[in-house]
Amino acid sequence: MQKIMLTLFVTSVLSGCSVFGVYKVDIPQGTPLTKAQAAQVQVGMSFQQVRFLLGSPTVSDPLNPQRWDYIYNYIPGTYAKKAKIPAAHGQHLKIYFDADGNVERIEGLETIPESQPGLPASKEAILTAPPL
C-alpha cells in the first residue's frame, strides 16, 4: 500500500512540473507606438496636440517638463510564444519642447517599428475581427 501511495505521489509531482508547465502572462510595459503614429508628430506642435496623437508620455520628468519619453517593452507570455509573437525591447521616442510649449526636436524615430508585436496593425483589424 505504501509503494502505491509513494508511486502516485511521485508521479503527480513529476507530471505537474514537467508536462503542464507554468502559465506566463504577457508583460507589456509603456506606450505602444507605431512608426505611422510617431511620424505624425511635427516640429512646432503644442503639448496638447502631441498628447492627442500619442497619448500621455510614459515618463514625464517633473524636473524637466520640456522632455517627454515614450518607452515600450513587451515580453510575450505562454500563448504569445506559441503564436510566435516576438518580444519588443529598446523602443524609446523622445520629444523635446521649447519654452513656449512647442515641439523643438524629436529623437528615436528609428527605434519605433512599423507594427507592434501582439497588437493589430491598424484599427481596421479590430473593427473587422470576427466575433468570438
> ∠ CA 105-100-47 to the nearest 5 degrees?
65
Residue 23 within a domain: no
> pLDDT category, 107, cuts 50, 70, 90?
very high
Q: SS3 for 22?
A: coil
- The pLDDT tens digits of the residues spanning 31-48 come to 888 898 899 999 999 999
Q: pTM for this structure?
A: 0.70
Query: In whole numbers, what is the pLDDT of the chain averaged over residues?
Result: 82
Residue 24 within a domain: no
Residues spanned by the domain of 112: 30-116
- The whole-angstrom distance between residue 10's C-alpha and the CA centroid of its chain comes to 40
Residue 38 within a domain: yes
Radius of gyration in angstroms for the set of CA atoms belonging to the chain, rounded to a whole number: 23
Can you give the CATH number for the domain in which 75 is found? 3.30.1450.10
